[in-house]
Chains A and B, each alone.
Chain A
Amino acid sequence: MTTPAPARLIDFLGAFATGGLLTLMIWFNGTLAGYGTVLFASWVPHLTGTILAIVVLLFLRPPKASTQSPPWWAYLGGISGAVTVVLTSASMQSPLAVSGTIALGLTGQMIFSLAADKWGLLGLPQRDPTLRDGLALALILAGSVILIFFGGVA
């Protein structure tokens, strides 16, 4: 297995811009859910995303990073994403509403990703989270909660 390159500013800004894509996705898919069901609003982007993916793979033919086959479970990330839709739509209809669901979901993401780094879960590189990582996470979580509950972002 190849050793990943150290983090560069481009990686950092790229990940930030990726979050902006998520804003668009939630906006588009949320609009769909207003006409059909939450399930439909997940089904359509999975379908159109798969179609685009096939086209991209056929045209770009990206090389495989390793000659070793990935473990079988590495193909199953999509199941986890699909179950998320079901869970969050149930939670959104509870007293937690959209804002509570998003705030708690962010908390769940933080907890899992810190654990994933600490123990190198599922075959990704192990990294010890630093105190600064924890502080950065706490600030971003605090800012997010303020935006979700008072700033209209939900």
Chain B
Amino acid sequence: MIGFAAIAILGGVLVSLSRQINGRLSLSLSALHASYWNHLIGLIAVTAFGVVFGGLLTGDPWGAPWWAYLGGPIGFVFIAASSWAITRIGAAQTALLIIAGQMIFGVIVDVALGTSGNTVARIVGVALILAGMVIARATPQKGVDKAVGSD
């Protein structure tokens, strides 16, 4: 259990690590280039993993509704936008805003689809997140005078 907890935390760390690396690439090239390289290298990695360990095409992979295959274009915009944000507002603010957006839009989707969930919990959860965003926004920007070199 502790081992799986460590794995889950590491998963989150790697999400932020990836965003940091892509942000660095966008400083030299552009956010669109960063998203391109993220997808290309990720595609090679996932393909290699599938070839070595199998499991890429088991099940009924082509049976899903057509819209389910459109995550890629959204992902392209997502990686470009987050690479753009992290160089401007920093890693912590980018992470907290993306998480806030993910959660609040998640509630909206759940309510729209009629997914079961405790209404009080939803209200409290959204209120806490909005409060966190207000506080984050009120944070005086400390500037970025200590920009560091490439490596």
Contact = CB atoms under 8 A, between A and B. Distances in A.
Contact of B30 (A37, A44, A65): A65
User: Helix, strand, loop or mixed for chain A's interface?
Assistant: helix
Contacts of A82: 42, 45-46, 49
Chain B contact-residue range equals 35 or more
A43 B150 contact: no
A96 to B, nearest CB: 5
A91 B19 CA distance: 21
A28 B71 contact: yes
A82 to B, nearest CB: 4
Interface residues of A, number: 127
Contacts of A42: 42, 46
15 contacts: A9-B137, A35-B61, A35-B68, A39-B55, A49-B43, A53-B32, A62-B33, A78-B39, A78-B41, A82-B46, A116-B20, A124-B86, A128-B142, A132-B135, A143-B103
Interface of A: 1-9, 11-12, 14-29, 31-32, 34-37, 39-54, 56-57, 60, 62-66, 68-71, 73-88, 90-91, 94-96, 100-101, 104-114, 116-117, 120-130, 132-133, 135-144, 146-147, 149-153
Interface of B: 1, 4-5, 7-30, 32-47, 49-50, 55-65, 67-79, 81-82, 84-107, 109-110, 115-118, 121-122, 124-129, 131-133, 135-151
